[in-house]
A and B are shown apart, each in its own frame.
Chain A
Amino acid sequence: MSENVLHVDHVTMQFGGVVAVNDLSLDVDQGEIVALIGPNGAGKTTAFNCITGVYEPTNGRVSFLGKPMVENHPQGKMKKLYSGEHAEDYPHIISPTPDKITQLGIARTFQNIRLFSALSVFDNVLIAKHMRARHNWFTSTFRISAKEEKRMREDATALLEEQNLLHLKDEVAGSLPYGIQRRLEIARALATNPKLLLLDEPAAGMNPQETQELTDFIKEIRDKYHLTVFMIEHHMDLVMQISDRIYVLDFGRLIASGTPAEIQSNQRVIDAYLGVSNDA
């Protein structure tokens, strides 16, 4: 029943001699909420960027809904610099731009909010509807595809209503309070009709109460839109409450994976977060 949504296979991201993500493999199944945690600088956001096409991984493959989506092996000068294994396992080169990946059905939010801050809340959501509309610049300019525009507007209105943001529709996105900007960013990501939602530290800068609200919110949208959620988060309350499974990264390497209970008692994870004393 649980269909595989995201399959990351031996992904390595190397910048020159620095290995930011080292041989990362993980799976996310349909309907799950999976968290990726780790100390600062562990390579979590880099891993997200490899999945969403912002970076082209040095080696490895990312499959989405069973189909290879990103694939690469060390080329050019990376051939010499590449220090990992599995270089021969991925003969193809597939490197779609981020917009292609969004079109396939992966939406994301950003660690530091990236709204179109000078535009209205409504426009922010409408822009996310742009790629799925059946129009081109000509029909759109001369209002030949006015029906499509109307449908986009209706969909955006409906989405804002569901997210309780409709009353802010004409506000300038950049002028909203921080918490609402976060919610709007998630709403905007939902407007692309994703199957998989990647959240990069959705609770950053939130107080405990807001974090609790966010926890419920993520579960709610998962059920409502039949989503799969893969997120990076530092708030352990949220992560432990909400996650079906957790992956732990440290220095680019996967050091543990399992249910929240398993992770909480994992000695390597505790060491990674607290540091290992030398005389132990």
Chain B
Amino acid sequence: MKNLENKRGTLITAAIIVAVFLFVGIAEKIAPPSWNMLFMVLKKGSIYALIAVSMNLLNGFTGLFSLGQAGFMLLGAYTYGIFTIPAADRASVYQYFDGGVVQFALPVPVALILAGLVAAAFAFLIGLPVLRLKSDYLAIATLGFAEIIRAVFQWNVLGPITNGSNLLRKFPVFQSTISYFIVVGICVAVILLLINSSYGRAFKSIREDEIAAEAMGINLARHKMLAFCISSFFAGIGGALLAMYQTSVQASIFKSAMTYEILLIVVIGGIGSISGSVLASFLYIACSEWWLRFLDQETILSAAGRGRFIAVMAVIFVILLALMVFRLVKPKAKSRVRYGVGAGICGAVLIWLIVFAATGQTKVPLLRNGFRMVVFSVIIMIIVLFFSRGIMGTSELPDLFRKRIKSEKEEVAS
């Protein structure tokens, strides 16, 4: 019985994934140019999904709090760039360094794997001293490594290889969104296989209790190193994909802020959930690149637009206020304070809306450059406060469908 439910959840998830891939593949061919934004978000979202999943493997499944992801992405991006620029274009890219020292170009798939391998090799070297540390200390050490790597790659002496602080460009890139999806899909599938293997279980045991894991014969040093290298391998591939997406590589963009973005995605998605990380990265990229963009633009409303704005705001906040009040007056209401504050805020917004309507202003307040980040931060705070386990907690998509089926059955039974 359990197995059947298990299979059904997996089947539904597989169907969704196939549908998404088909949609992306087909829609890309036939969609009008106005859909460009969607495909940009899908491309960047898929890249971030891979990197977030690789970080989740380390932070969520093995319990190693590492903040070196941007450094490994940088290594991957540079490796890919350096080894794929066509020989004919090298003179113009490396114009200050006599065309550089590398004078050949590797095929794209080979270069992608090489990007991962270089990141993994560096992870191995860094891991030897650093993986003895725990929690915050490990985070600080890996963060330091990422910053050092960024500085070293801009160093002029390495210019013949890295082009110093200049851009690397003119390397081959994927044109279609589906190519990104396929590469990311394969990588995430491999990580999923790993997590569901005996080694994945060993990683989880280290997260649960290091001392007990060791007492069960699990070699901590070896398994931590393995998780660190594999995570970095995929971060390297993610970095290479990001280089393709941006069509250029520059060390200065791989700041620690990038690691924090990814950490945020992992937390929002749910630490220890692969599907959570994937969903969260698409949502995150869509919000930051697309849906919340309008918040950054000063907007003067036309008469009709003004009416619509007031109507929409009024409907949203009246519904919210009604919900809050409903919760407040419920006989066995819990956390009255929280809903009280919520109702107060809704009331205040509505009063302001009346003033706004009465005084005949046309400029939407607050909207200006930088406001997007304020709203974004508030959303993240709300998520962390009220959904502290993230969107998915530690469950995966198949679990979600399994649960739904179960509860439906219970309803039928009762």
| Chain A residue, CB-CB nearest to B205 | A127
Q: Judging by beta carbons under 8 Å apart, are B214 and A141 in contact?
A: no
Q: Is A118 an interface residue (CB 8 A)?
A: yes
> Is B194 a contact of A127 with CB atoms below 8 Å?
no
With known contacts A119-B205, A141-B193, A114–B217 Cβ distance under 8 A: no
A99 and B218 in contact, given A127-B213, A142-B193 (Cβ under 8 angstroms): yes
Mask, A112-148, CB within 8 Å of B = 1, is 0011111100010011111111010100111100001
Query: Is the C-beta of A52 less than 8 angstroms from some C-beta in chain B?
Result: yes
Chain B positions within 8 Å of A75 at CB level? none
Asked if B182 lies at the interface with its beta carbon under 8 angstroms from chain A, I say no
Closest A residue to B394 by beta carbon equals A118
A192 within 8 A of B: yes
B-contacting 9-mer, from A102-110, A232-240, A264-272: A102-110
Main secondary structure of the interface of B (DSSP, over half): helix
Contact A126 B211 (CB under 8 A): no
Return chain A residues, CB-CB under 8 Å to B202. Answer: 127, 130
Say yes or no: is A263 at the interface (Cβ < 8 Å to chain B). no
Q: Say which residue of B201, B211, B212, B221 sits within 8 Å of A123 (CB atoms).
A: B201
Asked if A114 and B209 make an inter-chain contact with CB atoms under 8 angstroms apart, the answer reads yes
* Contact yes or no, A127 B216, CB < 8 A: yes
Chain A residues whose CB sits within 8 angstroms of the CB of B226 once the complex forms: 137
B198: chain A residues within 8 A (beta carbon): 126, 129-130, 133, 135, 140, 148-149, 152
Chain B residues with Cβ below 8 Å from A123 are 201, 204
Pair A131/B197 contact, Cβ less than 8 Å = no
Contact call A127/B201, Cβ cutoff below 8 A: yes
Cβ B216 vs Cβ A119 within 8 A: no
A97 touching B220, Cβ below 8 Å: yes
In this complex, the interface size class of chain B, counting residues with CB under 8 Å from chain A, is 20 to 34
Interface assignment of B16: CB less than 8 Å from any CB of chain A = no
Are A110 and B212 in contact, with the CB atoms below 8 A? yes
- By a CB distance below 8 angstroms, the chain A residues around B2 are 170
**Alpha-carbon distance between A110 and B202 when the two chains are bound, in angstroms:** 19
Q: Does B190 lie at the interface of the complex (its beta carbon under 8 Å from any beta carbon of A)?
A: yes
**Are B212 and A102 in contact, CB atoms less than 8 angstroms apart?**
no
Interface residues on A, range: 35 or more
Chain B, residues 203-229, CB within 8 Å of chain A (1/0): the string is 011001101111111111100001000
* Shortest CB distance B92–A (Å): 41
- Given known A-B contacts A123-B201, A126-B201, A102 and B208 have beta carbons under 8 A apart: no
Q: Which of A99, A103, A140, A170 contacts B197 (CB 8 A)?
A: A140
Point out the residue from B197, B204, B216, B217 that lies within 8 Å of A141, measured CB to CB.
Answer: B197
Is A258 an interface residue, CB under 8 A from the partner?
no
User: Are B209 and A116 neighbours in the complex by a CB distance under 8 Å?
Assistant: yes
**CB pair A128 B201 closer than 8 Å:** no
Are A141's CB and B199's CB within 8 A? yes
Question: Is A78 in contact with chain B by the CB < 8 A criterion?
Answer: no
Cβ of A112 to closest chain B Cβ, rounded Å: 11
- Residues in chain B near residue A142, CB distance under 8 A: 193
**Which of A117, A130, A133, A143 has the most chain B CB within a 10 Å cutoff?**
A130
CA distance A118 to B212 in the complex (A): 13
Query: What separation, in Å, do the CA atoms of A102 and B211 have in the docked complex?
Result: 12
- Chain A residue numbers with a CB within 8 Å of B394 are 118
Contact between B212 and A116, CB atoms less than 8 A apart: yes
Contacts of B217 in A (CB 8 A): 99, 102-103, 128, 130-132, 192
| A213-271 at interface with B (beta carbon < 8 Å) | none
Identify which of B205, B212, B219 contacts A97 (C-beta below 8 A).
B219
Asked if A98 CB lies within 8 Å of chain B CBs, one says: yes
Q: Which residue of the partner chain, among B204, B219, B221, contacts A116 with CB atoms under 8 Å?
A: B204
* Chain A interface residues toward B at CB < 8 A: 52, 54, 97-100, 102-103, 107-108, 110, 114-119, 123, 126-133, 135, 137, 140-143, 148-149, 152, 170, 188, 192
Please give 7 more A-B residue pairs, beta carbons under 8 A apart, in addition to A117-B208, A130-B216. A110-B212, A114-B209, A114-B212, A116-B208, A126-B201, A140-B197, A149-B197
